[in-house]
Structure 1
Amino acid sequence: MSDAMEMTDVSAAEAPVASNPVMMRASKVCVFYGEKQALFEVDLDVAANEVTALIGPSGCGKSTFLRCLNRMNDTIDGCRVTGRITLQDADIYDPKVDVVELRASVGMVFQKPNPFPKSIFENIAYGPRIHGLAKNKTDMEEIVVTSLQKAGLYEEVKDRLNEPGTGLSGGQQQRLCIARAIAVSPEVILMDEPCSALDPIATARVEELIDELRENYTIVIVTHSMQQAARVSQRTAFFHLGKLVEEGATDTIFTSPKDKRTQDYITGRFG
């Protein structure tokens, strides 16, 4: 075992305190797929109105952790989550929690854009309709327009709202998916490598959008791109072999990490 592997993980007590109020808190979170343990006692605070980036090599547990935050792991047979995760101090794994409502509060944008096979308008209207957020047609139109504006897409699609969402470019489809998440007024938006399928221009547009959205939303993003993490996030958490090695202010993590594994990953020695 290398010296780097022998180093102990940074404890929650040593980790810098988040600058904004805590929106979500994970305490001693473990995830098991059958007998295999994928996450080991992760402690992480997610601050309100900040972008928290989860980085680390493939298979390190960052996407598994992200899916814990809105209980997407519930959909995987044999997956078991232990520990505690709270959203504004309420335990999201409490048996009384309505998972549909939770996923409206903690929205998800996936790696590959996945618009519904419906019109652009209906892609946005779907969530508000099932959650009863619009009293009438005028309300619904306002929600759709506002969501598209917040996602920086309205001017590009305002004359095509009845055309299929699948007819948009890849970058536009991803912004449509972000608008769809916004439409149900979430508190948190989770993004699982939202730019990995996009070209550099579309990626830059989504990154600008992420920076704009954090004024109103709390964002947690999984990214393979350390440059992206450095550009869009205020805090960064580094995962390795299912453990949270270190977390803190993004500029600190990238310029003076405490743990050798973090430094080795950031400098390209592994990963």
Structure 2
Amino acid sequence: MTAGTVQTQNMTGALPLAEDGVPIKMQAQKVNVHYGEKQALYGVDLDVRKNNVTALIGPSGCGKSTFLRCLNRMNDTIDICRVGGNILLDNEDIYDQRIDVVELRARVGMVFQKPNPFPKSIFENVAYGPRIHGLAQSKAELDEIVATSLQKAGLFEEVKDRLDEPGTGLSGGQQQRLCIARAIAVSPEVILMDEPCSALDPIATAKVEELIDELRENYTIVIVTHSMQQAARVSQRTAFFHLGYLVEEGKTNDIFTNPKDQRTQDYITGRFG
């Protein structure tokens, strides 16, 4: 068990509980990451609480995105990357050889920094995952999955009359919500977001932030952000990374108003970073 975890099980016996009684969806235990000879993460222990938004903050190059990519094994795509330690999803080690990585990435979806819709129609962007994973038995079921995913992503009303038009023709903010709909369409349990608003204008950013708050009712969300204001607005928990170390993690309000570590204090007050 990582720090801040108690041995108690919840009523179903499925997930360990954090000290505040919230079930823990994912656990990182002593996670080290190397890119060739260079070490990028050092012994990271972090509990990701279910149906919470956990924000990862810290200066550029501190290991936030590297850690995020560990959570659905995106680092597997980098030949020189080695990941050590354990990362558990529902108490199962996602780096176990028996784990199907394609299935894992359906359970732990990802939304990237820049919107990256496929060069397909809006409909086909969302239908792509359900088709691959065989989630729809008929055209009617697929239509329903697409419509429901677009509704959950707050996009349906804006695009319902042009589902056959290219996803790439949408505005930046709409494209990012389309990518969120695409992630939702395969019924993930966890959604990872790597600076999802950094390429968006303030109005589009506000819409995505509002969406994140709605999504946490049904999903566990981990978001990397350079905006401390955004972390304060959207997250319940915040983890501060510095030079590859997890310096501090706690309730977002506590991290921003009463951090325990001087490095956290220096970062959030703008003394470095």
Structure 1-normalised TM-score? 0.94
1:100 corresponds to which letter in structure 2?
A: V
Match of 1:12 among 3, 10, 25: 3
2-structure distance, mates of 1:233, 1:105: 21
- Does the residue aligned with 1:80 lie in a helix, a strand or coil? strand
Q: How many residues align?
A: 261
**3-state DSSP of counterpart to 1:57:** coil
> Is 2:134 aligned against 1:118?
no
Query: Alpha carbon RMSD of aligned pairs, Å?
Result: 1.3
Q: How far apart are 1:18 and its partner, in Å?
A: 5.3
Paired position in structure 1 for 2:178: 176
Q: CA deviation at 1:13?
A: 5.1
Percent of pairs with identical residues: 82
Contact map agreement 1:18 1:47 (CA 8 A) in 2: no
In the alignment, which residue of structure 2 is the partner of 1:101?
103
State the one-letter code of the partner of 1:62: K
Residue equivalent to 1:238:
240
CA distance in 1, matches of 2:141, 2:43: 44
> Which one of the candidate residues 200, 206, 220 is aligned to 1:198?
200
Secondary structure in structure 2 of the residue aligned to 1:26: strand
User: Match of 2:43, SS?
Assistant: strand
Residue 49 of structure 2 aligns to which amino acid in structure 1? A
Partners of 1:87 and 1:13 in 2: CA distance: 17
Alignment partner, residue 137 of structure 1: 139
Q: Which amino acid counterpart does residue 238 of structure 1 have in structure 2?
A: F
Q: C-alpha displacement at 1:19, in angstroms?
A: 4.5
Q: Equivalent of 2:60, from 52, 58, 61? A: 58
Partner residue in 2 for 1:81? 83
Aligned to 1:214: 216
Shift of 1:20: 1.6
Q: Out of 74, 84, 93, which is 1:91 matched to?
A: 93
**Which residues of structure 1 form unaligned runs of 5+?**
1-10
Cα distance in 2 for partners of 1:106, 1:13 equals 23
Aligned CA distance change for structure 1 residues 18 and 73 (closer, same or farther; 3 Å): farther
Q: Deviations over 1:120-151 (max 9, x none)?
A: 00000000000000000000000000000000
Structure 2 partner of 1:266: 268
| Contiguous gaps of at least 5 residues in structure 2 | 6-17
Distance 2:156 2:122 in 1: 10
**4+ residue runs of structure 1 moved beyond 2 angstroms?**
11-14, 16-19
Q: Which has the higher contact order (CA 8 A, sep 6+)?
A: 1
Partner-residue secondary structure (3-state), 1:207: helix
- The CA distance in 1 between the partners of 2:216 and 2:237, in whole Å, is 13
Q: Pick from 253, 256, 262: which aligns with 1:254?
A: 256
Task: Name the counterpart of 1:3.
Answer: none
Partner of residue 68 from structure 1, selected from 25, 49, 70: 70
Aligned residue in 2 for 1:6: none
